Amino acid sequence: MRNMTHYRCTLCSNVYPYDGHTFTCPKCGELGILEIEFAYAQIGKNMTRESLIANRDLSMWRYGPLLPVDTSRSGEMLKIGWTPLYEARRLPELLNVKKLFIKDESHNPSGSTKDRASGLAVLNAIEQGMNTIACSSTGNAASSLACHAARMGLTSVIFVPKRAPVGKLTQLSMYGAHVMMVDGDYKAAYQLSKEAIKKHGWYNRNAAINPILVEGKKTVAMEIAEQLDFRPTDWVAISVGDGCSLAGVYKGFYDFKQLGLIKKIPRLLGVQSSGCAPFVTAWKDNKPLQETEENTIADSIAVGIPRNPIKAMRSIASSNGAFIAVSDEAILEGMKLLGHYEGIFAEPAGATALSGLIKALEEGVIKHNESVTVIVTGNGLKDPKNAQKTGRPPTLVPPNLAEVDKYLKENGVK
Amino acid sequence: MRNMTHYRCTLCSNVYPYDGHTFTCPKCGELGILEIEFAYAQIGKNMTRESLIANRDLSMWRYGPLLPVDTSRSGEMLKIGWTPLYEARRLPELLNVKKLFIKDESHNPSGSTKDRASGLAVLNAIEQGMNTIACSSTGNAASSLACHAARMGLTSVIFVPKRAPVGKLTQLSMYGAHVMMVDGDYKAAYQLSKEAIKKHGWYNRNAAINPILVEGKKTVAMEIAEQLDFRPTDWVAISVGDGCSLAGVYKGFYDFKQLGLIKKIPRLLGVQSSGCAPFVTAWKDNKPLQETEENTIADSIAVGIPRNPIKAMRSIASSNGAFIAVSDEAILEGMKLLGHYEGIFAEPAGATALSGLIKALEEGVIKHNESVTVIVTGNGLKDPKNAQKTGRPPTLVPPNLAEVDKYLKENGVK
């Protein structure tokens, strides 16, 4: 199959030839998450810094040779990827950090970084002749899947836990998805989706066990590398739920390093909410992951049983990175800082990386003279309810200039 | 001043030399909205089809020579413009229209086409050494202004009417704007902003009377022209409130025609909600605009007293276009069609252009063999409340496969 050579099981390290539709290790079962390996020597002949700079396909599909799908119909899709990488203007001084970049994934069609994985899944389903595609999700995986399925004429069936925020449910409704709102938590929604997918033979877009999805997510790292002239920052910070996006970021830099496009993989900072931080706990205690409660406003990363622990743990270890946990209050503060100082409105999980950076600077994990990229994973409009807990509220005034002047004086506005 | 030659009053046609800060006609007062004219012969020497194709600045600032601001600091701004133009995949068959393109403005930083005008205003304020920038707005003009002001370190003061939808108010709060929520309608908010701006000497980003703003909005038309290889569709449809965006679209095509970049200005379809359709009424009756009620879910175009009537009316007349009104029900249906068939989630005013196209096809105003571009002016996430009135709602299920199967059978999902 083109550029993919084989699967490697993350658990037993056994290798299997690439066939395009195996999900988990035949020997280890569902815990045996597979990794896809590529023929780098062959790909590197055509994918060079020069070829990338000259490539005018400003979407994730520019990395076609490194994607495990047939991209011939990618031009029909909505535009995913090549999201802006902004150099922060005002936050570096405030936070006392040398160089700070913000990768703004809210520009994707459904407003989150999950569009990258869902876009790949939809093309993969089409390639396999499947018409229905399903997943369980706390929100963004689902809304992105429904979005791209709608565009390409596939049916989507989505299993969500009851607490999914209104913005994301509204997206599903507008994209015409069939939404099963499961009376239970993410675990219950996941279990039910698994049974239904098996029974009905739908395409499975559950991120952890479908090995191609991380290959979509990796494109965010490749873009960061390219947008920084192939010299990525010392650190890249991202929020962590299931562990798949973190694993994707690592894989993107890994692929680019294999191709000789970058010299070094940045150190990765995986940030969780302290209300649901199984990775942070396991990493600090050097123990296997334990199921934890899902007690955070950052719904996109509220995953009590991460289904991709091995890849995520390895991403931190191999990059000489760190896990860190931040409180919900710190996440709200991160949202406010991004909005007030850079004009970027992130959902809670989208601002979590910035909050993690602030804590990592305080704790000396990241030094003030290091450079950092934070990935804003999702659009704040998806979750107005939590955003209303922070920011500057409106002031109700009668249509009367004296009242306005009173406010201005009290608030030092000139 | 570089490429701008003079102002022309839309009311008395008097001409004044361009100085960069005059707002309205010295003779006619506030009704004398000014138009900016450019030195096309001079600009055309460097701005050609070839130079544009080679231009790798994929933002609205690629049109710098046609913009009345100093763009030297545009690289510090968030990325505005060069939003995707999608060829519709599934709607053309459903609607029986030959070719349909969708210009998706929801990809802009604050999620609407207003970012184009606000970006220009912020650069203009900086150029003039002003630190506070203000406007009254039903929402998107305000949220876009607050967004770009935050990024560039300016203070924003925003006057909104009480009915502004939650998504947009949340944006203002997150961007740190000082929001005066005026106990009254848009008219009251506008009047109060006018008084406060005058008293405090702030930069005035009220769209109708600030002649540079339409020059920001025009870039959406230029992009459409470029993205269609300089052969725009027969028609371009856009929702109309104040009339400024419509005037901007016309101006963009007009400038490109003056430069010889396109042969013909597309016919423009200006679409209003029948609950607030002063332009449609005036156009059909061939009478001056009358103040009307603001009775529509499409808050972004709920403007009972449009402040830019002359430019907007001329845009329709000069392009041999038409005004049309659609009901709120038709707008909700347009939202559903865009989401279900193309994966695009628009706010009510954002889907209004599509609803207008459907009606124009029914009435024979637009022929089935003509090509059309609809401009989706804003992101649906800004107004989840109205979106919840349409689309496919979620189904609450117990964690039980039998209940899922029952739903699937009833809804014909395979």
State pLDDT tens for residues B18-56.
988 888 999 998 888 899 999 999 999 999 999 999 999
- Average pLDDT of A2-28? 91
pLDDT at residue A148 in the model: 98
| Cβ <8 Å between A340 and B132 | no
- Per-residue confidence at A168, pLDDT binned at 50, 70, 90? confident
Average pLDDT of the residues of chain A: 94
- Average pLDDT of A323-352? 97
- Worst-scoring range by mean pLDDT, A131-140, B152-161, B204-213, B225-234? B204-213
> Tokens 């929801």 appear where?
B106
Question: Choosing among B126, B175, B197, which should be mutated to test the A contact, i.e. which has the most A CBs within 10 A?
Answer: B175
What would you report as the CA-atom Rg of chain A, rounded to the nearest whole angstrom? Answer: 21
- Average pLDDT of A294-323? 90
Of the candidates B76, B182, B390, the beta carbon closest to that of A89 is on B76
- Average pLDDT of B337-342? 98
- Per-residue confidence at B359, pLDDT binned at 50, 70, 90? very high
Of the candidates B90, B170, B175, the beta carbon closest to that of A340 is on B175
pLDDT at residue B70 in the model: 92
pLDDT at residue A160 in the model: 87
Which residue of chain A is at minimal alpha-carbon distance from B107? A107
- How far does A322 lie from chain B, in Å, by closest CA? 29
Domains for chain B: give ranges and CATH numbers: 85-112+213-387 (3.40.50.1100)
Question: Choosing among B168, B173, B192, B200, which should be mutated to test the A contact, i.e. which has the most A CBs within 10 A?
Answer: B173
Residue B138 has pLDDT above 70, yes or no: no
Which residue of chain A is at minimal alpha-carbon distance from B131? A414
Of the candidates B107, B146, B345, the beta carbon closest to that of A174 is on B345
Of the candidates A343, A393, A396, the beta carbon closest to that of B147 is on A343
pLDDT at residue A81 in the model: 98
- How far does A293 lie from chain B, in Å, by closest CA? 19
- Per-residue confidence at B299, pLDDT binned at 50, 70, 90? confident
Residue A192, CA distances (Å) to A117, A121, A302, B407 in order = 21, 20, 18, 14
pLDDT at residue A217 in the model: 97
- Worst-scoring range by mean pLDDT, A93-97, A189-193, A339-343, B307-311? B307-311
SS3 string of chain B?
A: CCCEEEEEECCCCCEEECCCCCCEECCCEEEEEEEEEECHHHHHHHCCHHHHHHCCCCCHHHHHHHCCCCHHHHHHCCCCCCCCEEECCCHHHHHCCCEEEEEEHHHCCCCECCHHHHHHHHHHHHHCCCCEEEEECCCHHHHHHHHHHHHHCCEEEEEEECCCCHHHHHHHHHCCCEEEEECCCHHHHHHHHHHHHHHHCCEECCCCCCCCHHHHHCHHHHHHHHHCCCCCCCEEEEECCCCHHHHHHHHHHHHHHHCCCCCCCCEEEEEEECCECHHHHHHHHCCCCCCCCCCCCCHHHCCCCCCCHHHHHHHHHHCCCEEEEECHHHHHHHHHHHHHHHCCCECHHHHHHHHHHHHHHHCCCCCCCCEEEEEECEEHHHCHHHHCCCCCCCEEECCCHHHHHHHHHHCCCC
- How far does A352 lie from chain B, in Å, by closest CA? 15
ipTM of the complex: 0.95
Of the candidates A192, A342, A399, the beta carbon closest to that of B151 is on A342
| Cβ <8 Å between A343 and B400 | no
Burial bucket for residue A285 (CB in 10 Å: 0-12, 13-18, 19+): exposed
| Cβ <8 Å between A396 and B183 | yes
- Per-residue confidence at A222, pLDDT binned at 50, 70, 90? very high
Residue B207 has pLDDT above 90, yes or no: no
Query: pLDDT tens-digit profile of A398-411?
Result: 999 999 999 999 99
Residue A227 has pLDDT above 60, yes or no: yes
Contacts of B132 in chain A (CB under 8 A): 413-414
- Average pLDDT of B203-207? 86
| Cβ <8 Å between A89 and B152 | yes
Q: At residue A386, what are phi and psi to the nearest 5 degrees?
A: -75, -35
Asked if residue B311 lies in contact with residue B305, where contact means CB atoms within 8 angstroms, the answer is no
Residue B184 has pLDDT above 90, yes or no: no
- Cβ–Cβ pairs < 8 A, chains A and B: 266
pLDDT at residue B158 in the model: 95
Q: How many residues does chain A have?
A: 414
Query: pLDDT tens-digit profile of B86-119?
Result: 999 999 999 999 999 999 999 999 999 999 999 9
- Average pLDDT of B219-233? 98
| Cβ <8 Å between B196 and A404 | yes
- Worst-scoring range by mean pLDDT, A405-409, B154-158, B205-209? B205-209
Q: How many residues does chain B have?
A: 414
Residue B1 has pLDDT above 60, yes or no: no
Average pLDDT of the residues of chain B: 94
> Tokens 């109700």 appear where?
A396
| Cβ <8 Å between A379 and B381 | yes
Contacts of B89 in chain A (CB under 8 A): 76, 151-153
pLDDT at residue B349 in the model: 92
On the CB side of B358, CA atoms within 13 Å amount to: 20
- Average pLDDT of A51-69? 96
Which has more confidence, A139 or B368? B368
Question: Choosing among A80, A158, A404, A410, which should be mutated to test the B contact, i.e. which has the most B CBs within 10 A?
Answer: A404
pLDDT at residue A138 in the model: 67
Residue A304 has pLDDT above 90, yes or no: no
